[in-house]
Amino acid sequence: MSIVGRAVAVKTPATTANLGPGFDTLGLALSIYDELEVTAVAEPGVIVEVHGVGEGEVPTDETNLVARSIAHVFADQGQPLPGLRLVARNGIPHGRGMGSSGAAIVAGVMAAKGLLEGVVDLDSRTLLRLATELEGHPDNVAPALFGGLTIAWTSDDGPEFKKLSVHRGVSPLVAVPEQITMSTALARSLQPQSVPHQDAIFNVSRSALLIAALIQSPELLHAATEDRLHQSYRASAMPETDALIRVLRENGLAAVVSGAGPSILVLGSDPAQRLVAAELLERHASTTWRPLMLAVDFRGATVGSLPVAAVA
């Protein structure tokens, strides 16, 4: 069956991973999005048109991460790759700890799912496996795929996830620095190979508490977001992030590094806490930070068919 002429639209949420103590395990989908339109064409090759974040910066050929992700799925499923025309409208900041690379991978995987509909069936387990193969770990791609709060882990059978609903009182704010970025690879290189036993026990307790806080008891978020496994080791690479988190936490707010940073995630126990956080950031930041008052995205990535004329 030829898929030439098929066109799909994909919408993928931003994510924030770790959430403090849940290093490489917990992730949350957020209501800021990348949107993608993909058409399968007869002419070989890949052409990518980028609008918004990354315009003029990211590759516009087959080396584009979204295009590589589509190709990965087709190769895994033993399907011939058609020519591809992509139009990306990106809203997720790059290099800021909001899962932009994970979102690009998920967008490509979901686009491939839509293009291959009726040819092969890609279930949730397969989608997670393919996205994790490209990303390297599932903590960002799981919430981008499935929405909500996700617990991700790896078993002998591959990556796994559990999606949970978040208490309606939980109110996220992400503070994004205008001029500062952080490489995930650099952030990971600052991690020690081992940590003290007491620190491991500390984080196990806080991670368990964090699940309860997010789904049932938001008033526990401040205590539940304490961490000893990764943030302190990375602080020297993000001094302003570290200083602002200290200010926010001293004022009773559940502030943590968003993903690899340098953005800051504040998990408010009610919407009013976000206003307090924004005011503190404005007062104490020495550079420009943009406070994004977001909702938890419960749907995850979506894909739907388009008439070819809509994206021609």
Q: Which residues are annotated as a binding site for ATP?
A: 93-103
The residue type of 227 is: D
The answer for residues whose C-beta is within 8 angstroms of residue 191's C-beta and 6 or more apart is: 230, 233, 234
Residue 27, both tokens? 């992730």
CA separation, residue 196 to residues 19, 229, 256 (Å)? 21, 9, 21
Mutual orientation of helices 65-76 and 124-135 as an angle, nearest 10°? Answer: 130
- Contact (Cβ atoms closer than 8 angstroms) between residue 54 and residue 90: yes
Per the annotation, where are the binding residues? 93-103
The residue type of 296 is: V
Return the residue matching tokens 């882990």. Answer: 153
User: How remote is the C-alpha of 146 from its chain's centroid?
Assistant: 11
Q: How many beta carbons lie within 10 A of that of residue 171, not counting itself?
A: 22
Q: How many beta carbons lie within 10 A of that of residue 205, not counting itself?
A: 14
